[in-house]
Amino acid sequence: MTDDRKATLVHISGRVQGVSFRIWTKAQAQGLGLTGWVRNEYDGTVTALISGPDAAIGEMLRQFWNGPIGASVSSVMTEPASPDEAPSDFRITH
């Protein structure tokens, strides 16, 4: 990966499971040219690793607050991550 790629681990809470949040995230991330993954957690939250240019990550973080139709996001928490942890595409994982 190039030096201009960053990565962020994102924890999204609220009504984010059962509303196609992972499918929506994958489509949004691919549209922004991001790589990484998204998964449901046992506690009802969604976690995503997003990697790419700062501007694309910032836009994805803004979009997380809206989510797909039916979602109600109450929190988007981030922590730094290594771009080396991201796959070369964007995946839904379990």
Strand partners, 91: 37
Average pLDDT value for residue range 81-87: 94
Percent of the chain at pLDDT > 90 equals: 94
Let me know if residue 54 belongs to a domain.
yes
Among residues 5, 15, 39, 40, the one annotated as catalytic is: 40
Residue range of the domain that includes 63: 6-92
34 vs 5 pLDDT, higher one: 34
Q: In sequence order, what are the residues at sequence separation of 6 or more whose Cβ sits closer than 8 angstroms to the Cβ of residue 39? A: 22, 46, 47, 48, 92, 93, 94
- Whether 1 is in a domain gets the answer no
Q: Across residues 30-55, what is the average pLDDT?
A: 98
Token code pair at residue 55: 């501007």
Is 27 among the domain residues?
Answer: yes
Q: Is 22 a catalytic residue?
A: yes
Report the CATH number at residue 59: 3.30.70.100
pLDDT at 4: 83
Q: Is residue 53 part of a domain?
A: yes
Does residue 28 sit within a domain?
Answer: yes
pLDDT digits (tens, 9 = 90+) for 59-68: 999 999 999 9
For the chain, the domain total comes to 1
Quote the DSSP letter at residue 25.
H
pTM of this prediction? 0.94
Is-catalytic flag, 66?
no
